[in-house]
Amino acid sequence: MKRVFASIFSLAFSYCAVSPSAFAWGERGHDGVTRVATRLLADSKDPETAKFGAFLQRKENMLGHLANVPDIVWRSLGPELDKSSSPSHFVDMEYILPPGSLPKAADLPQNVAEFLKALDANCAKKSKDVPCDNGKSDDERLQKSGHAPFRIETLSQDLVQSFKEMKSLEAQTGDNGAKRDAVIERVILTMGILSHFVGDLSNPEHTAKDYDAWDLGQGGLHGYFESEIVDSLPLDLEAVVLDEAQRHQPMAERFARHPHNYLQMAWELALDSHEKLPLLEQMDRQYSLLEKSVSGRNGEGGHGKGQKAKRRDALETRGSFRNLIILRLAAGADALSRIWLDTWQQGGKPDMSFYHSYHYDVKPDFIPLRYLPHTKS
């Protein structure tokens, strides 16, 4: 772990030597993670994988749009849905990790019931080293802590089932073209939506209670890092992210520990991101922070009416953050491509090349959070 952390410091410095409902990467970041993931598969040396990836690459712009749907379309459907779905975009690792600990993914909760028990056990300590308020009900606990890994798990499971349905239809005789089209359209939709939440967990700020660095006097870091800096980078960003992901395969070793276990893959991504949060905060202090933020008395976290920190313009500092952004987007794209590929393989590797349609889910319906206790049948 120390070597990984040191290498990131080296990369980050060599170049220049959000509320829980905040957007994780902004539109460009989510789109980039998605399109790079399609290219990773399309460029595979395995012919079957490359064929699968080539189909996805042809749909990369649609998939990139769908990857932004949770932040743009669904959050415009009303405050009640926004409030209930926002925790699916993050997980506050401090709520379940013992102070100073970074365990293995296999040691983390393997279902929502275990997750709630871990919240109870950790938050009940009420120590200054355990920064969580456990809430009064399961819903309130999950609302505070976030539950993105379970969103990734269930969407991945949905994909496996849809691929299996495609494979079954593939084996049938007769005219079932309309059914096959409907299933593949559901597959494309689910793959794009899944990309959003994988992208969320590749952002260090989506794994921490102090997601916007107000507790450090660095309020506003979330949007500055994920949107202002990312949007300011040159047009070669996605090409560089692709090269980084292809050369280093950042999630390969972590994911290999958990074949077909999408929840543990999500935990691995969250842990990998959480390790990088101190680096991001330190870089902000070193390169961009001009004046600390001032917390207000009201609002979430006691800073709802506070004043954000003053920072240098993104055009001045983007070089300092560039390598960290590349590393995190590459981790997200690599993770996504591996989950996509595994769901397709577990679903029987159905042929998708037959599909030719102008169908485009511009404003798809919300996909319910079926793993939450109150949604169980």
- Of 79, 116, 119, give the one whose Cα is nearest residue 95: 119
At 307, give phi and psi (nearest 5°). Answer: -115, 125
CB atoms under 10 Å from CB of 338, counted, come to 21
Query: What does the pLDDT read at residue 102?
Result: 76
CA atoms of 266 and 45, how far apart (whole Å)? 26
Query: What does the pLDDT read at residue 287?
Result: 98
HSE value, Cβ hemisphere, 13 Å, CA-based, for 287: 25
Looking at CATH, the fold of the domain delimited by 2-375 is given as: P1 Nuclease (1.10.575)
DSSP letters, 38-65, are HHHHHT-SSHHHHHHHHHHHHTHHHHHH
Query: What does the pLDDT read at residue 15?
Result: 36
Q: Decide: helix, strand or coil at residue 156.
A: helix
Helices (H), 88-147: 112-123, 138-145
Helices (H), 211-362: 221-223, 230-232, 237-248, 252-256, 262-283, 314-346
CB atoms under 10 Å from CB of 56, counted, come to 25
Buried b (16+ CB within 10 A) or exposed e, 180-208: bbebbbbbbbbbbbbbbbbbbbbbbbbbb
CB atoms under 10 Å from CB of 293, counted, come to 22
Do the beta carbons of residue 192 and residue 27 sit within 8 Å?
A: no
CB atoms under 10 Å from CB of 89, counted, come to 26
CA atoms of 70 and 295, how far apart (whole Å)? 29
DSSP 289: E
Do the beta carbons of residue 188 and residue 171 sit within 8 Å?
A: no
**Identity of residue 125:** K
Q: Decide: helix, strand or coil at residue 100.
A: coil
pTM to 2 decimals? 0.91
Do the beta carbons of residue 59 and residue 188 sit within 8 Å?
A: yes
Tens of pLDDT, residue by residue, the chain (377 residues): 434 344 444 443 333 333 444 556 899 999 999 999 999 999 999 999 999 999 999 999 999 999 999 999 999 999 999 999 999 999 999 888 876 777 889 889 999 999 999 988 888 776 666 667 667 888 888 999 999 999 999 999 999 999 999 999 998 877 888 999 999 999 999 999 999 999 999 999 999 999 999 999 999 999 999 999 999 999 999 999 999 999 999 999 999 999 999 999 999 999 999 999 999 999 999 999 999 999 864 444 445 568 999 999 999 999 999 999 999 999 999 999 999 999 999 999 999 998 999 999 999 999 999 999 876 54
What's the distance, Cα to Cα, between the start and end of the chain in Å? 42
CA atoms of 194 and 372, how far apart (whole Å)? 17
Q: Tokens 């009420």 appear where?
A: 126
Q: Return the structure tokens found at 155.
A: 């969407």
